[in-house]
A and B are shown apart, each in its own frame.
Chain A
Amino acid sequence: MSRLAAVKPFIYLGVSVALIVLATMFFMWSVGYLERAMIATGLLSALIGFSLLSGGLYALRVSAYVYGAEKGAEEGGEA
């Protein structure tokens, strides 16, 4: 159980990194579509990129705060 608690923030971190990587890919694709004059598709992929990035940043913050809560707890216990 405590192992899960220790790993939990890094699961969030993994999710957030995956989402941000996906968002970056969508942003790249949107430029690619725009290059081939597929304007609507390009803008739509940019929009998807924005949504994914928003989710990724949310997960990133959650991971940081969860890590802070867990790690801070250990330090508090020792003191």
Chain B
Amino acid sequence: MMSRIPRIVLEVLPRLTAAIVLWENIDLLLRLLPRVVGGPIEFLAALASLEGLPTAIGLASSVLAALTVATASPMLYAVTLSILAVAKGAAGYAVSPASIFGMLVILFSDTLRPVYRTGQGASLRLGYRDLIKGVVGAAAVLGMVILVAVGAGLYVGRFIDYMVSAGTRAVSKNLVLAGLLMNPVVRLIVVLVFTLLFYKLLTHAFDSAALFAFPSRRLSIQVLRDRSGIDASIEIPLNTLRGMIIAMAVAPLLYASIYRVVMPLATQLMPQLGLLTTFVARVAITFLLFTVAYTVVSRFINRFLEGSPESVLGIAVGVAVFVYACAVLRSVWLGAPLVRALTSPDLEGLGSDAVDSYVKFYALFFYLVELLLRLVGAAP
């Protein structure tokens, strides 16, 4: 009977811990429910409304908490805790430290439970040194994890605070920027990116620390032989945004080349193409060119980072030839003979046209972007 006690503890402990979260759920519901209770139909209507949202989320997490008590699964516990945190946050409370600490207890018992054999506790012989070593090691691991987690939380909190305050200061100057900085979705993305980053930092640090503590030649050689094994590449966040920024520099040039050089020639040859110079067609082509530039640029960046310089060279030469051809066409169009046009293309005129169209392109572009943001409700 005595030999069964550790087994029973390992089974009961996580369920007791899950009961803490269940209790926290019930506590939250007891505080929230009086606000929404009425008849059954009013109750359902209140749950569906915006004020009843924390209650609805709280109900969902209570069901999950009850399931966690039954199964003692750490995954379920984490999901329950996350949903409970959202419900409590929406209601204006914070999750209790006890339930966060409970995560450690659940993980600990879940690791031990499958490998523990009944009666193993009786045959365990531990010296003081081993005991101290074990306790210090566990404390060091936990301390480092908690330190990084708290540091990351503080850092992300300050980042978001400053972002929002920069947004409130920018309201009078730039509506698009302020809308972006104060948008809850943008904030969520920033938090997710930083959380992933710190998670990767932590796992890599522990991987390396484990190898330093217990070096294994076989594993090391196996990993070093295969390059993908040690490539600890972090996907740089906001790849999309970077591609867009570069595309912003490229797109107006394409626009200028088409509208100032190619289009006048084309309309001389085919007058019905004049349809493309109307306002709506210009807007459509603006966005089309931007999309094309973005697609090409983002692929170009990825190729460049993957280390194939040939395609980069090819695209660069292609752009140069395109600009040269446009400049030559422009001087021909201005009346220069072909040989003269080939040797001294009108790059200056093309450049001034480009500057002009940068201004026009983005006046149009940002006007539409701001309009879209206002329609969606992201900007005031």
- Once bound together, how far apart are the Cα atoms of A34 and B169, in whole Å? 12
Q: Is the CB of A39 within 8 A of B204?
A: no
Which stretch of B14-22, B89-97, B125-133, B223-231 is in the interface?
A: B223-231
Q: Chain A binding site: helix, strand, loop or mixed by DSSP?
A: helix
Which residues of chain A have a CB within 8 Å of any CB of chain B? 20, 27, 30-31, 34-35, 37, 39, 42-43, 47, 50-51, 53-54, 57-58, 60-73, 75-76
- Once bound together, how far apart are the Cα atoms of A30 and B208, in whole Å? 28
- Residues of B within 8 Å of A39, CB to CB, are 163, 166, 170, 177, 181
Q: How large is the interface on B (under 10, 10 to 19, 20 to 34, 35 or more residues)?
A: 35 or more
Most buried by B among A54, A62, A67, A69: A69
> Nearest Cβ distance between residue A51 and chain B, in whole angstroms?
6
- 10 A–B contacts from the bound complex (CB under 8 Å): A34-B159, A34-B162, A50-B197, A60-B204, A61-B230, A62-B230, A65-B224, A67-B211, A69-B217, A69-B224
Q: Is the CB of A72 within 8 A of B220?
A: yes
- Once bound together, how far apart are the Cα atoms of A42 and B177, in whole Å? 14
Q: A65-B223, A72-B216 are in contact. Are A54 and B177 (CB under 8 A)?
A: no
Q: A27-B155, A31-B155, A64-B208 are in contact. Are A69 and B234 (CB under 8 A)?
A: no
- Residues of A within 8 Å of B218, CB to CB, are 72
Near A by CB (< 8 A), chain B positions 151-172 give 155, 158-159, 162-163, 165-166, 169-170
Q: Which 5 A-B pairs have the closest CB atoms?
A: A72-B217, A68-B220, A64-B208, A71-B215, A64-B211
Residue of B nearest to A59 (CB): B232
Whether a CB of chain A sits under 8 angstroms from the CB of B101 is no
Whether a CB of chain A sits under 8 angstroms from the CB of B188 is no
- Residues of B within 8 Å of A68, CB to CB, are 211, 215-217, 219-220
- Residues of B within 8 Å of A73, CB to CB, are 217
Whether a CB of chain A sits under 8 angstroms from the CB of B339 is no
Q: Is the CB of B211 within 8 A of A57?
A: no
Q: Is the CB of A57 within 8 A of B220?
A: no
> Nearest Cβ distance between residue B225 and chain A, in whole angstroms?
10
Q: Is the CB of B234 within 8 A of A57?
A: yes
